[in-house]
């Protein structure tokens, strides 16, 4: 099951799909938005990847893999949006 922090990361990745996300720029984006999880990005994304919600695309140099929301991740976000559950509200920084 995806926890609240992982869900916020998933929403950020989906919201800015134009960005080639890696651990560094994801960590910076989270810091700018005062999100929890700063410094643990790789571990959080690994959980999303293991759940099939994020695709990890190997890149050079080592450790600079890119992250993007998988089809399953997009489906989950759409399902949650339609359920309109209070614990999965869109963060303030998403228009």
pLDDT tens by residue, 49-74:
999 999 999 988 888 899 999 999 99
Which CATH number, 1.10.10.10, 3.40.50.920, 3.30.365.10, 3.40.50.300, labels domain 4-84?
1.10.10.10
Q: What pLDDT does residue 26 have?
A: 92
- The residues with which 55 forms a beta bridge, in sequence order, are 68
Tell me the CA distances in angstroms from 83 to 15, 44, 61, 89, one per residue in order.
19, 24, 40, 10
Where in the chain are the domains?
4-84
What band does 95 get if pLDDT is binned at 50, 70 and 90?
A: very low
pLDDT digits (tens, 9 = 90+) for 13-42: 999 888 899 999 999 999 988 888 878 888
């Amino acid at each position: 099951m995806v926890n609240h922090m992982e869900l916020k990361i998933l929403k950020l990745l989906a919201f800015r799909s134009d960005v080639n996300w890696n651990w560094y720029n994801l960590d910076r984006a989270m810091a700018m938005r005062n999100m929890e999880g700063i410094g643990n990005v790789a571990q959080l994304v690994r959980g999303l990847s293991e759940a099939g919600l994020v695709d990890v695309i190997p890149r050079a140099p080592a450790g600079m893999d890119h992250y993007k929301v998988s089809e399953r991740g997009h489906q989950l976000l759409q399902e949650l949006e339609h359920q309109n559950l209070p614990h999965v509200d869109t963060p303030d920084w998403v228009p």
